[in-house]
Amino acid sequence: MSSWIVVLVIVACALYAVAIYNRLITHRNRVRNAWSQIDVQLRRRHDLVPNLVESVKGYMAHERGVIDAIVEARKQAMAAGPDVAARADAENTLGRSLRSLFALTEAIPQLRANENMLSLQEELGSTENRIAFARQHYNDSVMQYNTALESVPSNIVAGIFGFRSETLFAAEETERQPVLVKF
Amino acid sequence: MVSTGGIAAGGLSPAGHVSFFDEQARRRRGTWRLSFACLLVASGVGIVLSAAVTPLLLLIGGGLLNLTAWLGLAPAVMHQAVRIIGGWAAYHLGNFDRLIGSLDHVNRLGDLGVLLPPLTKLSPLAVPALIAAAIVWLGLRALTMRAGGEDLIHRLNARPANPADREEHQLSNIIEELAIAAGLPSPRLFVIDSPIVNAAAVGRTHKDAAVLVTRGLLDSLDRAETSAVIGHMIASIGGGDIKVTASILAVFQTFGFFLTVLDLPFRWSAWRALGGLVVVSATPRPSPESIVRAGDSIEAGLGADTMPDIERMFAWVPFQWLRYVLLAPLLPPMLISMLLKLVLFLWTAFFLGPPLSWLWRNRRYMADAKAVELTRDPDALARALTTIAGSGVPPGGELREYFFISAPAAASKSALGNRQTMSAALHPPLARRVARLVAFGAGPVGRAEPFRPFRWLTTLPPMAALAVAALLALLVPLFAALFVMIFYLTAIAMTLALAAGLTLVVAIFGG
């Protein structure tokens, strides 16, 4: 009789461990999926930059420095490796230089009325939002995953199977302000 | 328009404020509680219906068994099974007699306990009907899910968004942004050419959902407000609201289904409704419109009038007196059917309607909280809701107003809206929704005031206030009397149905 109880308890524990393991896998896959979504949106921004540079170059001959900074930041961002922190750093630099460019275009009336420029601004603004939302989703997913990793009893299962915590995609302090893109 | 990225992540919330994560957890628990309450009440209605449905099932089952025996398939076994059915019915008819007999001993309220033992003995009678109801409910729910509310797209003449139009292009950008925020696939987008400001979400699953936005919304809300509305839609899709709608509708359709079956002898449209349902269920890929039509005509069984059909059915009979003679045997079952309809109407109006509408309101609050989680912009949602509440539902959407983010109570013409006469609207009052958003950190919004429904009482002069209070106090015994009346009606309807049904079963299949 008592041996049956022992067997039952062991089976119940094993089933519970399996459930926890599956939950951790779900969380981790969500984090990976969220990361790939950030990646897609960052690439979208990379693709938009040459187009933008082409449209404003003619009007901003006296601001070569800003344009060069953007081109350089894009190159850096595209070269950044898979490390989350380094990638976030490079992308934040690109975002910052894009914002300073848009601040400058405000002063040029021809650009403010340009149909092509307006749609570029919508696309870039939307891309900025997508990056922000993708990052938000990624960070929320990482938070849930890390919480699961650290709390009892899932931390035991996580320890046995070698789940490692993920890094948050940090936003800069300046990025917490609304993006200054008018359209 | 100024774009506001949903960047301000988290941040410290001031004291007294509610986190939208906590709110969602609370609403999720509320969904479970309210669903359970709805299930309890619906089972109660199922027990009431079982008084008529169980004898019907026994008749159908016995008939099928006899047919199988007649076809030559194991006739001995089949006849034995029929005898068991007859015996079971006779046994319960005996129990039923004992219940009626013990009614004589009930003289005071305290004597009601005497009825308990015979009632317990009768209770197995409810089981076949409840099982049948569960099966029918699951089937109708699956059918409604298959339609997924997509008939709304045609009903409203919605068209796909035009990417050349700047506002509509921006809208498709917004939808993709928020789908990313929720980690969901991007839903399809439709635009309704109407000046009314509103938006709806439909779809079978979150993988092929659709968002419908009126042109008026695009023209009168800015980018942040539109994002907030779309956030609510995405939250509703991701939260599985379509499943909740289907479950609620299927409850009414299940009741309607059984009443339609009971109406078969006296109503042509009952045959039509049932036939439509069978056709739709048998079609491999039915259109959303045909599913909705079949579901609606089945649901119409809840309140269908039988008299006109009866008269048409006997129109060929030459003499008036002959018609009466032919009609006479139909009168008792008609009376039972009408009584059951009345009882069912009272139950849905007073007991089932309120928890169902609370459930739906709960889902709206939950989607609001999720929308704020996605956009981190409670102000924009509060502004958008205030604008939408003053606008209404685009023409053609009145019957499906629960798919919209907000709808005035007056626009509610849907079956769901009609059934719950006790609580007016399926959408929470605007002031309350805004109050929740303020708790998430939204600033004060134009017209919205703190929600105090009985505030006008305090502004009355003392004598008038006293009169109002006295009237309110009078309502309590009135409601008590009403509930006792509903209880009596239910008991009468069940008794009649059970007595007639069981007698019929015993008469046909032998005791």
Tens digit of each residue's pLDDT (9 = 90 or more) over B337-381:
888 888 888 888 888 888 888 898 899 999 999 999 998 889 899
Identity at B211, one-letter amino acid code: V
Q: Quick check: A175 pLDDT over 60?
A: no
Distance from CA of B53 to the nearest CA of A (A): 42
Phi-psi map region of B30: left, alpha, beta (phi>0 left; psi -120 to 50 alpha): alpha
Element (H, E) at B188: strand B188-192
Strands B159-160 and B199-203: unpaired
- Look over chain B and give the mean of its residue pLDDT values, rounded to a whole number: 82
Instruction: Give me the mean pLDDT over the A129-152 stretch.
Output: 89
Q: How far apart are CA A78 and CA A61, in angstroms?
A: 25
pLDDT: is A23 or B11 the higher one? A23
Cβ partners under 8 Å of residue A114, min gap 6 = A55
Half-sphere exposure of B474 (CA within 13 A, CB side): 6
Strands B188-192 and B199-203: unpaired
Given a contact cutoff of 8 angstroms between Cβ atoms, the answer to whether A169 and A138 are in contact is: yes
Q: CB A122 to CB B170 under 8 A? A: yes
Instruction: Give me the mean pLDDT over the A20-43 stretch.
Output: 89
Of the candidates B30, B29, B24, B8, the residue with the CA atom closest to the CA atom of residue B439: B24
* Window B:143-182, CB contacts with A under 8 Å: 166, 169-170, 173-174, 176-178, 180-182
Helix/strand/coil for B191:
strand
Q: CB B7 to CB A176 under 8 A? A: yes
* Window B:180-219, CB contacts with A under 8 Å: 180-183
Q: What is the number of CB-based contacts under 8 A between chain A and chain B?
A: 76
Of the candidates B147, B228, B220, B143, the residue with the CA atom closest to the CA atom of residue B236: B228
Q: CB A136 to CB B166 under 8 A? A: no
pLDDT digits (tens, 9 = 90+) for B145-189: 888 778 888 888 889 988 888 889 999 999 999 999 998 889 999
Q: CB B3 to CB A178 under 8 A? A: yes
At residue B10, the pLDDT reads 37
Note the helical H segments in B314-352.
320-327, 331-347
Q: Quick one: pLDDT band at residue B5, thresholds 50, 70, 90?
A: very low
Q: How far apart are CA B437 and CA B78, in angstroms?
A: 64
pLDDT: is B390 or B382 the higher one? B382
Identity at A4, one-letter amino acid code: W
Q: CB A179 to CB B183 under 8 A? A: no
The phi, psi pair for B46, rounded to 5°, reads: -60, -40
Q: Quick one: pLDDT band at residue B409, thresholds 50, 70, 90?
A: low
A-side interface with B, Cβ within 8 Å? Answer: 30, 33-34, 37, 41, 118-119, 122-123, 125-126, 128-130, 132-137, 139, 141, 171, 175-179, 181-183
Q: Which of B1, B7, B227 to mutate to test the interface with A (most CBs of A within 10 A)?
A: B7
- Among B8, B170, B173, the residue with its CB nearest the CB of A176 is B8
Nearest CA in chain B to A29: B183
Cβ partners under 8 Å of residue B480, min gap 6 = none
Distance from CA of B184 to the nearest CA of A (A): 10
pLDDT: is B250 or B265 the higher one? B250
Chain B residues with CB under 8 Å of A171 CB are 7, 9
Q: Quick check: B417 pLDDT over 80?
A: no
Q: Quick check: B442 pLDDT over 80?
A: no
Quote the percentage of chain B above a pLDDT of 90.
22
Q: CB B180 to CB A37 under 8 A? A: yes
- Where do the structural domains in chain A lie, given as residue ranges? 2-176
At residue B416, the pLDDT reads 52
At residue B13, the pLDDT reads 38
pLDDT: is B201 or B457 the higher one? B201
Instruction: Give me the mean pLDDT over the B392-412 stretch.
Output: 75
- Among B1, B8, B177, the residue with its CB nearest the CB of A130 is B177
Q: Quick one: pLDDT band at residue B422, thresholds 50, 70, 90?
A: very low
pLDDT digits (tens, 9 = 90+) for A47-95: 888 888 888 877 777 778 888 888 888 888 888 877 777 888 888 888 8
Quote the percentage of chain B above a pLDDT of 70.
88
- Among A125, A133, A171, the residue with its CB nearest the CB of B3 is A125
Helix/strand/coil for B192:
strand
- Highest average pLDDT, of A45-54, A108-117, B379-388, B416-425, comes from B379-388
Count Cβ atoms below 10 Å from residue B161 Cβ, excluding itself.
Answer: 21
* CATH code, residues A2-176: 1.20.1440.20
Residue with tokens 């070269």: A79
Q: Quick check: A161 pLDDT over 80?
A: yes
At residue B451, the pLDDT reads 55
Q: CB B180 to CB A183 under 8 A? A: no
pLDDT: is A33 or B14 the higher one? A33
Burial class (CB in 10 A: 0-12, 13-18, 19+), B233: buried
Q: Produce one character per residue of A10-25: b if its CB has 16 or more CB atoms within 10 Å, e if not.
A: eeeeeeebeebbeebe
Nearest CA in chain B to A173: B8
Beta bridge partners of B160: B190
Q: Quick check: A174 pLDDT over 60?
A: no
Nearest CA in chain A to B177: A130
At residue B8, the pLDDT reads 36
Of the candidates B440, B437, B441, the residue with the CA atom closest to the CA atom of residue B451: B437
Instruction: Give me the mean pLDDT over the B417-425 stretch.
Output: 46
Chain B residues with CB under 8 Å of A126 CB are 3, 170, 173-174, 176-177
- Among A125, A134, A175, the residue with its CB nearest the CB of B180 is A134
Q: Is B43 on the interface with A (CB under 8 A)?
A: no
Q: Quick one: pLDDT band at residue A11, thresholds 50, 70, 90?
A: very high
Chain A residues with CB under 8 Å of B175 CB are none
What are the structure tokens assigned to B395, written together?
């023409």
Q: Quick check: A169 pLDDT over 80?
A: no
